[in-house]
């Protein structure tokens, strides 16, 4: 069975500062990893995905994530936070194409002006 742990349920950053959201996974097979963002009162939007190609993955809105097998991690970063980045972010893992997603608990990001 697979699982995802997101360290920190809330993160506060200043506008223009680095955003770093941590995700660690557990999987008995090579994982496929995703980051989704949820804005208030909306559904989940795919930010980026790792599916065994390049370990550094670039996504939308300036976000990127790096897959580190040795650390079983898939942390999400953005060099400079913007007010519009305030949202909840979810890391998810799947073990095969077409399989269910297993989500972490989410990290709510607050951006201070």
Partner 1 sequence: DSGVTQTPKHLITATGQRVTLRCSPRSGDLSVYWYQQSLDQGLQFLIQYYNGEERAKGNILERFSAQQFPDLHSELNLSSLELGDSALYFCASSPGQGAYEQYFGPGTRLTVT
Q: For residue 50, what are the contacts with CB-CB under 8 A and spacing of at least 6?
A: 31, 32, 33, 34, 57, 65, 67, 74
Smallest gap from Cβ 97 to partner 1, in A, equals 5
Closer to partner 1 by Cβ: residue 31 or 81:
31
Rounded Cα gap, residues 42 and 5, in angstroms = 23
Smallest gap from Cβ 13 to partner 1, in A, equals 23
Residues in contact with partner 1 by CB under 8 A are 32, 34, 36, 42-46, 49, 51, 90, 94, 97-106
User: What is the Cα Rg of the chain in Å?
Assistant: 13
Smallest gap from Cβ 86 to partner 1, in A, equals 19
Closer to partner 1 by Cβ: residue 17 or 51:
51
Closer to partner 1 by Cβ: residue 18 or 60:
60
């Amino acid at each position: 069975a697979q699982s995802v742990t997101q360290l920190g349920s809330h993160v506060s950053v200043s506008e223009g500062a680095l955003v770093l959201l941590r995700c660690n996974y557990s999987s008995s097979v090579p994982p496929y990893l995703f980051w989704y963002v949820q804005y208030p009162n909306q559904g989940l939007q795919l930010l980026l995905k790792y599916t065994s190609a390049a370990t550094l993955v670039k996504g939308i809105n300036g976000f990127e994530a790096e897959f580190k097998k040795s650390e079983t991690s898939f942390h999400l970063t953005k060099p400079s936070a913007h007010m519009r980045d305030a949202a909840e972010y979810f890391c998810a893992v799947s073990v095969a194409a077409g399989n269910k997603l297993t989500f972490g608990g989410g990290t709510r990001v607050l951006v201070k002006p």
